[in-house]
Structure 1
Amino acid sequence: MKLMKLGSRPDIFFSSGPVRSVSTEVATDMQILVDGCLFRLHKFPLLSKCMWLQALCVESGDGGGAVELPAFPGGAEAFEVCAKFCYGITVTIGPHNVVAVRCAAAHLGMTEAADRGNLAAKLDAFLSSCLLRHWKDALAVLHSTRRYVALCDELGVTSRCVDAVAALIADANGEASAAVPASSSPPWWARDISELGVDLYWRVMVAVRAAGTVHGKAMGDALKAYARRWLPIATKNQYAAERTDGGAGNAEWAAKNHRLLVEKIVGLLPPERNAVSCGFLLNLLKAANVLGASPASKAELTRRVASQLEDTNVSDLLIPAATPCGGEKPYDVDAVVAILEEFALRQAAAGSVDGSPVNAGRHRRSRSAESAAELEGARRSTSTAAVSHGAMVRVGRLVDGFLAVVAKDVRTPLDKMIAVAEAVPDCARPEHDDLYRAIDTYLRVCAPPYP
């Protein structure tokens, strides 16, 4: 941790209960109340460096009363550092307090316009030349901007920290590259930035992506690490909010914050097909259902899952309904139908000719479905290719396995069972044993008894 010392005089501040004063022969002539602490100081050293206090004294005249600074950034501790700097007393600045003191200096107007070599300029130079060049220090400074979001954005401190952290990530040969052993599964930086709040994390990842030096797979692994860190907590808190007394207000507040988490992660997904696994995408879709993410986020996840559907398994495809407690069905069959429809549209958009293994034996679709296929074809990337016959068979087995599970629940509607069963072409089922077993299970569990 890098530190900077300013000033050379010994500390002459002392405390007497809630009062902080200066031990000198000259009587104090200014009282400032900050966060319940009363500072008895001298006008001359403070006013020579603080433009805001100058203007305040001009407005108030020589009233002699205490000047209160409500909601002062950093509180009494940050104000005391600024006051000691005005007196020339030695103060120590590091990653733990540089943001608070910088915000306090800005509030007091301790700029070059007040005095050359003032505190704000010294702190900015320390940030640029030292703290933001070292991984741990830069992260610590970025973390501390959360307390003063609006002021840090106004001063540009947050953007400087974000750019610095992103640059250290992008520079694979920098000092930070050795911070975590290379054997770590996620990128060396993923675990550290996973402690950031979603807004700061999103800004860092956008800057990293803009640099263009980090591969999509590494970006995907970093997103997986962040999701593992926060999504289980968000989902648990959402359920808890719905169960508490007066749960409507709690659930609404939780949904607003947790929804943002899912949507930001979805927005950061790399465009490369194999950057993240299909299982991870389905886990995101499950969280999106529970946390009430936007339809656009769910649609994006549906498209991505459909492009990798042959790589998933039945357990991943069991998506909880949006209201698992007291809802109409335990699993969101509609979401699976949407994935399979998207999968079919992708195959149609791949330009496969009729009679190919992919299209052979496809079930007849409605006119609306045919029109949708034509419209979606223009949206699909030209790189999209039809899956192989073996992959299509895997999708068929996946669908039949999903049917075998949902067939055991009496709340599964018959029309949904049929929609899922017909969503794949005949060529995906070289044999129909699994489908027959699912139908048999459904009839035994769900069919009404004969009179």
Structure 2
Amino acid sequence: MEVCCDLEVDVNGEESFMVNKRVIASYSGKLNKLLGKSRGSTRNLKVVFHDFPGGAESFELISRFCYNNGSIDITPANISLLFFAALFMEMNNSVSGAHNLLEKTEKSLEEMRYWTWSELLIALKQCQDLVPAANSLPLLEKCLDCIVGRLALTSEASPCPSTSSPDSSGIRFSCDTRSTESLKTCSSRATWWFEDLLVLSPNLVEMLVKSLVSRKFDHVIISRFLFYYQKSKFYTVKSDAMRTIAETIINLLYILDQSCVSCKSLFGILRVVQNLNINKSSRNKLESMIGSQLDQASLDNLLVPSPHGINHLYDVNLVLRFLNSFLQGGMSKASPMRLRKVGVLVDLYITEVAPDPCLRPSKFLALAMVLPDAARDSYDELYRAIDMYLEVHGGLSEEEKMKLCCILNYEKLSEEACIHISQNAKFPSKSAVQALISQQFKLKSLLHATNNSKFYADSPSSATEVGNEGSKCHDSNEQCVLYAGKLDLSADNEKLRAHLHGMQWRVMELEKMCKKMQTQMAKFTKSRVSSSQSHARSLPKLCS
């Protein structure tokens, strides 16, 4: 027995094998070189391998190959182990002249395209376990290429290709199939491989996705797989692995067509990685992707709690970064509708965060001013937010209050909002005056338009009457504006409020006068048309 087993092989510290050195060395160029260099007694030799690919299981397989005169059954379940072990042991040119293992495995790998899906998965799983092994990448790429080719083939053969909407079920009806059962069947055809590929490591998922992208595979399906992979893996791994997975998924989503990536799912990843401390590059990519489609977000999506150590209730800085990404992407110029949607969303967010006592005026101003004026059709919601902010932050100086009020575009405030400002003691007096003056100019423009309508009247008496009435209103309006301009803004606030109430009364009088003029114009136009028709009927017919 001692004669037969004269070599001890320690494999990666896992297990030791007693083998016949002559038999093993006859197939392994590596062992043949090592034993050839040994000096002294050739008995009781020991070889220690620290990085044997596949470990003890793999060494046992090649030992069987050597003891069986260079013969072994090569299957998809062991081909990866045999291939890498043969490379490591340099079994490509056996001393005995028998069949070499490397050649046998390479021939078997040529048949990989005929393997079943399950066999491909087994081989791929073994490959990923051997990734650190030298020269393992070519085989890994070949196995992945077969997987991707199979996926592309089934995708092309499927009668229910995916839709372009990332939030949809990922499929569409084919021809006449519209039942729920057909929907489920088509969905399963598009995503049948998701569960199978959960065994892959993040590195292999990266290789897989890049290969799918190069094959022009549907980006919607790819993004759905990545979200599915992230959610499924997070249930079973620890925080360090979570961070690696999250960074990989974010980087892969970033290379896809962003119209194929679900904004809702991106916010889901954002909430998960808040406490994972992912690297800055991945975080920037995630925020950029969300910002590029911010018009698809909801208020609940934006209400992200502040990071630890910041007093704000919500992460205002994060929302500001979203908005900057949205604007840098040129969305405001390319699509006014998308810009207005973001404007509505931001005003709702500002209203939500305004009662936060820890929110500094500079942050409130940054939120309110980040979007251009074109993003808002009305400033009423922003006025409401400012009103709430001033209610909570009563200690602001007049200068700070004026900075907040300067955000408002009074031309885009409703009549009710302007009147409310004039009666709002929390707002600076200058702001209240500006709101009323803005409303007066609106009425002036309306009265001026009504005044000009006299040129469409043919009756001199009626035109004069309407014109004079309009002049009176016009003069009255000018007096209101001049009166507002002469107010002493440095006087006592109570006195100023009384002046403002007087202005408000004059605005109401102007509105009544304007409505009266419109009624008179309508009556005049109606009577003129009736008179014209009656005059036409009284004329005699001309004779030819």
TM-score (norm 2): 0.59
Correspondence for 1:139: 121
More moved, 90-99 vs 297-306: 90-99
Correspondence for 2:228: 225
Contact map agreement 2:7 2:21 (CA 8 A) in 1 = no
Select the residue among 382, 385, 390 that pairs with 1:435.
382
Q: Distance in 1 between matches of 2:226 and 2:320?
A: 27
Residues 348 and 65 (structure 1 numbering): CA distance in 2 closer, same or farther, change over 3 Å? Answer: closer
Report the CA distance between 1:175 and its aligned residue. 10
Correspondence for 2:351: 404
State the one-letter code of the partner of 2:325. Answer: E
Q: Distance in 2 between matches of 1:274 and 1:210?
A: 18
- Identity among equivalent positions (%) equals 26
1:299-338 correspondence runs (5 A): 299-321=284-306, 324-338=307-321
For 1:203-259, what per-residue CA distance to the aligned partner results, in whole angstroms no more than 9, with x for missing partners?
Answer: 1111111122x122222222222232245777xx54xxxxxxxxxxxxxxx3xx655
Q: Distance in 2 between matches of 1:438 and 1:185?
A: 49
1:403-422 correspondence runs (5 A): 403-422=350-369
Q: Distance in 1 between matches of 2:298 and 2:242?
A: 27
Matched, 1:42 2:20: yes
Contact map agreement 1:152 1:158 (CA 8 A) in 2 = no
Select the residue among 55, 61, 66 that pairs with 2:45.
66
Report the CA distance between 1:275 and its aligned residue. 0.3
Contact map agreement 1:32 1:67 (CA 8 A) in 2 = yes
Residues 177 and 105 (structure 1 numbering): CA distance in 2 closer, same or farther, change over 3 Å? Answer: farther
Report the CA distance between 1:317 and its aligned residue. 1.8
Report the CA distance between 1:151 and its aligned residue. 1.1
Correspondence for 1:33: 9
Structure number with higher helix proportion: 2
Select the residue among 105, 124, 134 that pairs with 2:86.
105
Q: Distance in 1 between matches of 2:327 and 2:158?
A: 46
Residues 106 and 347 (structure 1 numbering): CA distance in 2 closer, same or farther, change over 3 Å? Answer: closer
Q: Distance in 2 between matches of 1:231 and 1:341?
A: 30
Q: Distance in 1 between matches of 2:236 and 2:312?
A: 24
Higher relative contact order structure (alpha carbons within 8 Å, sequence separation ≥ 6): 1
State the one-letter code of the partner of 2:194. Answer: A
Contact map agreement 1:258 1:291 (CA 8 A) in 2 = yes
Correspondence for 2:267: 282
Residues 220 and 91 (structure 1 numbering): CA distance in 2 closer, same or farther, change over 3 Å? Answer: same
Residues 416 and 292 (structure 1 numbering): CA distance in 2 closer, same or farther, change over 3 Å? Answer: same
Q: Distance in 2 between matches of 1:173 and 1:419?
A: 48
Correspondence for 1:57: 35
Q: Distance in 1 between matches of 2:228 and 2:36?
A: 55
Q: Distance in 2 between matches of 1:298 and 1:439?
A: 32
Correspondence for 1:339: 322
Report the CA distance between 1:173 and its aligned residue. 6.4
Report the CA distance between 1:315 and its aligned residue. 1.6
Q: Which runs of 5+ in 2 are unaligned?
A: 161-183, 398-544
Q: Distance in 1 between matches of 2:350 and 2:234?
A: 28
1:92-131 correspondence runs (5 A): 93-112=74-93, 114=95, 115=97, 117-130=99-112
Residues 446 and 291 (structure 1 numbering): CA distance in 2 closer, same or farther, change over 3 Å? Answer: farther
Bigger Cα Rg: 2
State the one-letter code of the partner of 2:83. Answer: R
Residues 147 and 194 (structure 1 numbering): CA distance in 2 closer, same or farther, change over 3 Å? Answer: closer
Q: Distance in 2 between matches of 1:156 and 1:68?
A: 29
Matched, 1:156 2:135: no
Report the CA distance between 1:140 and its aligned residue. 2.4
Matched, 1:424 2:400: no
Residues 319 and 233 (structure 1 numbering): CA distance in 2 closer, same or farther, change over 3 Å? Answer: farther
Q: Distance in 1 between matches of 2:295 and 2:331?
A: 16
Residues 116 and 437 (structure 1 numbering): CA distance in 2 closer, same or farther, change over 3 Å? Answer: farther
TM-score (norm 1): 0.69
State the one-letter code of the partner of 1:268. Answer: L
For 1:371-416, what per-residue CA distance to the aligned partner results, in whole angstroms no more than 9, with x for missing partners?
Answer: xxxxxxxxxxxxxx2242xx44432231122223333433332222
Select the residue among 179, 182, 185 that pairs with 2:186.
182
Q: Distance in 2 between matches of 1:177 and 1:120?
A: 42
Any idea what SS the aligned residue of 1:274 has?
A: helix
Contact map agreement 2:92 2:100 (CA 8 A) in 1 = yes
More moved, 434-443 vs 137-146: 434-443
Q: Distance in 2 between matches of 1:128 and 1:410?
A: 69
Report the CA distance between 1:171 and its aligned residue. 2.4
Any idea what SS the aligned residue of 2:36 has?
A: helix
Correspondence for 1:261: 245
Report the CA distance between 1:201 and its aligned residue. 0.6
Contact map agreement 2:29 2:93 (CA 8 A) in 1 = no
Any idea what SS the aligned residue of 2:310 has?
A: coil
Any idea what SS the aligned residue of 2:8 has?
A: strand
Q: Which runs of 5+ in 1 are unaligned?
A: 1-20, 239-253, 351-384
Correspondence for 1:77: 57
Residues 428 and 387 (structure 1 numbering): CA distance in 2 closer, same or farther, change over 3 Å? Answer: closer
Any idea what SS the aligned residue of 1:151 has?
A: coil
State the one-letter code of the partner of 1:32. Answer: E
Q: Distance in 2 between matches of 1:261 and 1:199?
A: 9
CA-based RMSD of the aligned residues comes to 3.6
Residues 181 and 348 (structure 1 numbering): CA distance in 2 closer, same or farther, change over 3 Å? Answer: closer
Q: Distance in 1 between matches of 2:224 and 2:118?
A: 21
Contact map agreement 1:30 1:43 (CA 8 A) in 2 = yes
For 1:178-204, what per-residue CA distance to the aligned partner results, in whole angstroms no more than 9, with x for missing partners?
Answer: 9x9532386333332233221111011
